[in-house]
Amino acid sequence: MSQTRMDSTVTDTRSEDGGQQVAPTARGPARLAAETRAPRTVRVNRTILTVLGLLLVAAGAAGLATALGPFGRRLSDQPVLGPAVEDFVAANRWFWPVVAIAAALLALLCLWWLLSQARSNRVSQLRLATDPPRGHTTLSASALTDAVTSEIEGYHGVTRAAAHLSGTSTAPRLSLTVALDGRVGPAEIHRRITVEAIPHARQALSTDHLPTRLELQLPRTQHRDVR
């Protein structure tokens, strides 16, 4: 995906049929970290997949080594579940209840892991000021994103806009998706957003630093502006 950044703003301009164009920027192409799930979810995924991969590799290596015979021909010719295993299961009535409990716990663990995939790194509250003696000043993330999208949707040539904040409550990142109707060039929409809407958002947060990802969606067909 082609991306550029101008003053901490990443722009991805794409058409509705999948084609992409890169809006011009003043500082040349640069990269910004891709949006992802919550950091904790990413760490859990890496840990689980690493442990599971190591266990599977170890089990496969043990099975392959046993079949090739380095532990003796007698062991390599035995079935995986031999008579000794069958006798053990038959002699211990607690075996299958324990297996059922273990399977249920594993199912719950898999369900927890699946639900954790829905967690994102989006933030719902922004911390504007912290003063323990006087308290904290916070701003709802939806209040800021609603104001930004309302401003952008008021631009001529824009059909709809969507925004969300990710990162942390003290260091947010703004993601914008703007659909165009083709009556105004994407370069002009890009200019207005980076010169007007994003500075207004920074002003609301009382900060000069608000990394922003901007995606412009172009229509399949261009429309002439008859005004």
Amino acid at 138: T
Q: What is the pLDDT of residue 176?
A: 92
pLDDT at res. 223? 59
Q: Which domains does the chain have, with CATH numbers?
A: 4-35+122-218 (3.30.300.30), 39-116 (no CATH)
Phi-psi region of 167 (alpha: psi -120 to 50; beta: other; left: phi over 0): left
- Residue 163, beta-bridge partner list: 176
10 phi and psi, to 5 degrees?
Answer: -95, 135
For the chain, the residue count is 227
Which residues are CB-contacts of 169 (< 8 A; sequence separation ≥ 6)? 123, 125, 126, 127, 138
Rounded to two decimals, the pTM is 0.56
d(CA 193, CA 56): 50
32-71 residue pLDDT tens: 455 556 667 778 888 888 999 999 999 888 888 877 777 6
Query: Nearest to residue 178, comparing CAs of 159, 194, 156, 154?
Result: 159
The answer to whether residue 5 scores a pLDDT higher than 80 is: no
d(CA 134, CA 136): 7
Model confidence over 98-120: pLDDT tens digits? Answer: 999 999 999 998 898 888 777 77
| pLDDT, average across residues 185-202 | 92
What's the confidence (pLDDT) of residue 148?
94
Give the separation between CA 216 and CA 219, rounded to whole angstroms. Answer: 10
Residue 188: partners with Cβ closer than 8 Å, 6 or more residues away? 157
Task: Specify the DSSP class assigned to residue 133.
Answer: T
Gap between the Cα atoms of 3 and 134, Å rounded: 43
pLDDT digits over 125-138, tens only?
887 776 667 667 78
Q: What is the pLDDT of residue 60?
A: 87
Q: What pLDDT score was predicted for residue 12?
A: 54
Q: What is the mean pLDDT of the chain?
A: 78
